[in-house]
Each structure stands twice: as structure tokens, then as C-alpha cells.
Amino acid sequence: MQPSLRALPPRIRKYRVPIGIGLLVVIGTAVAFLDESGAQVSGSPTTSSLFTSAEPGTPSLESRLASVEATLDQTLKIQGQLLELVSELSTKVAPESETPQTRRASMSTAQSPATSSQDYRNRQRSENRFSRQRGNQVRRLIDAGFPPERAALIMDRQERLQYEQMQYSYEYHHMQDKRSERAVELQQKIQTYSNPRRVFEQELSPAEFEQYLNAFGGRTEMEIGSIIESAPAYDAGLRAGDKIIRYNNQRVFHMGDLRTQVYQAKPGSSVEVEIQRRGSSSTEKIYLPAGPLGIRG
């Protein structure tokens, strides 16, 4: 049973006309060669048998067989060429028939120059942006009083701190038990490393740390904006314009720092607070109960 045209792939069906014409050419060529062979052999219609007895002056049986074989060879050759044409058309109209390896290779070859060029430009822009940002930060440190070599080392350390903070965050994110001792330790490290100032406060000398803060516009102390009456800070004698330098032996730069330190103080304990009175150049220490102080920065 001959397959229906509907069984062919949709993209092949629209080429059925040229393919059919090609097949007709093959069949017609074969018939023409057979007709010519029959006419040459017997001078009679093509229905004449190839094995009829030879008449005087007609070719022999071997000659007729050789002619038929030549005709079949020519027909097969044309048929092979037609099949190659069909195969080529199938590849063009149905590229999904190619193997995945071949398709990926051709796509890579076709897209690689443009993609490679675009990737190169993106990398260049990213590297240039990073270099400019780092160069600006190094210059700010130099302007604040750091030698160039020391400024570069500080920037290297700051970049390393950011990387380590991401490592701690990654480890904590994938922990099953977030109440374990290791989880608590990671939380503290993440909080510390998320703000390089806290690390540099411990690693740099007091003078260098002040230079570091000045280089990046950091505040070196928190000035009290207002105080709620009857709150612990008010009862301790603090007033607007006073500055809080340290809380529980931790440096305070703004309200966010103070709020973090207040939450970490143990309830019911007494906390040491280093302050600087308004108009004074010296600092003093007072003790306040743990918990909110009732001040606004």
C-alpha cells in the first residue's frame, strides 16, 4: 500500500509538486529508453518480447540485454540524483531532523562572532566601571591622609570582607538548624561583615580609623536630636546636642548602630555608655539600664 501524501511532514508536502514532477521525469526517461530499445531491437511496438527469435539483421539477445542494462543504469542514476535532491530539500525545510550536535555546532558557528564581540564589550564595560569605582575610593583614602600603598591594601581588605560576608550568608542560608551555635555565630559574622567599618574599627589604629571614616563621609559619633522626658537617657542627664560615642563598648555612628547594640544588651543589666557633652571636647562614661534610651538622632 502506497503511503498517502498526508503522512508526509507538513513542510515536505508543500514540495510535493516538484518532487512528483521529478519522479515523472524518471519514469518517463525509463519508458523512453525502453521504447527506443524495443524499436531498435525488433522494429515493432514495445510489447514485443525480448526473447523472440532474432530475425536477420537484428541485434542478438546479448546486445539487447546490454542495452536494457544500460537503460536501467541510467534510470537508477537519475533516481539517485532525485533522492539526493529530496534529502537536501528535507534538510532545508525540516532542520529539526538534524542531529542535536550538528544543530548546536551550526548555531554556535553562526552566532559566535557577534556573541563573542558583545560579551567582550560587556566585560570591558564592567571592568572599566569597577576600575573607576576602585580608583575613586583609593583616591579618597589618599586625600584623607593614607599613603597610596596603604590605601590600596585597605581597598583589597574591604573587597575581601564583602566576599567573606557572602560566604557566611551562603552557609547560613543552607543550614538546616538555624538555632545551632554555628548559626548564631554566622549571624554575628554576617552582621559584622555587612558593615566593613566595624571590622576596620578593630583592625585599624584609632587615627587610621578616623581617616577611613572621613574618606567615605562616615559619621564619627551620633548626636542626640531630642530626648523623651522621663526616659532613661533623660533621667541620666543627657540632653539634645550631646553625643553618644560608644554603647556597651561598641562604637556608635548613627541611630541604626545604637538600635542594634540596644537590642543585644541583656535585659536587667547595666550598660556602659560613652558620651560627649555638648560644647565639651572630652568624653565621659555613664551607666544606663539595658533597653531603649528614649532618644532620637
pLDDT tens sequence across 28-76? 655 555 555 444 444 444 444 444 444 555 567 677 767 767 776 666 6
Residues 135 and 159 in one domain: yes
Inter-residue contact 273 to 287 (CB < 8 Å): yes
Single pTM value for the model: 0.45
Query: Phi, psi at residue 288, to the nearest 5°?
Result: -125, 150
Residues 245 and 164 in one domain: no
Question: In this structure, is residue 116 part of a structural domain?
Answer: no
Question: In this structure, is residue 209 part of a structural domain?
Answer: yes
Q: Whole-angstrom Cα distance, residue 196 to residue 200?
A: 6
Residues 200 and 173 in one domain: yes
Of 4, 62, 56, 64, the C-alpha closest to 33 is 64
Question: In this structure, is residue 24 part of a structural domain?
Answer: yes
Domain that holds residue 12: 7-45+61-96
Question: In this structure, is residue 239 part of a structural domain?
Answer: yes
| pLDDT, tens digit, 9 for 90 and up, residues 125-174 | 777 888 899 999 999 999 999 999 999 999 999 999 999 999 999 999 99
Question: In this structure, is residue 263 part of a structural domain?
Answer: yes
How many domains does the chain divide into?
3
- R_g over Cα of the chain: 46
- H/E element holding 244? strand 243-247
Render 104-143 in DSSP notation, one character per residue.
Answer: HHHHHHHHHHHHHHHHHHHHHHHHHHHHHHHHHHHHHHHH
Residues 35 and 70 in one domain: yes
Question: In this structure, is residue 156 part of a structural domain?
Answer: yes
Q: Look-up: residue for cell 555638648?
A: 278
Of 171, 224, 162, 152, the C-alpha closest to 197 is 162
Residues 237 and 209 in one domain: no
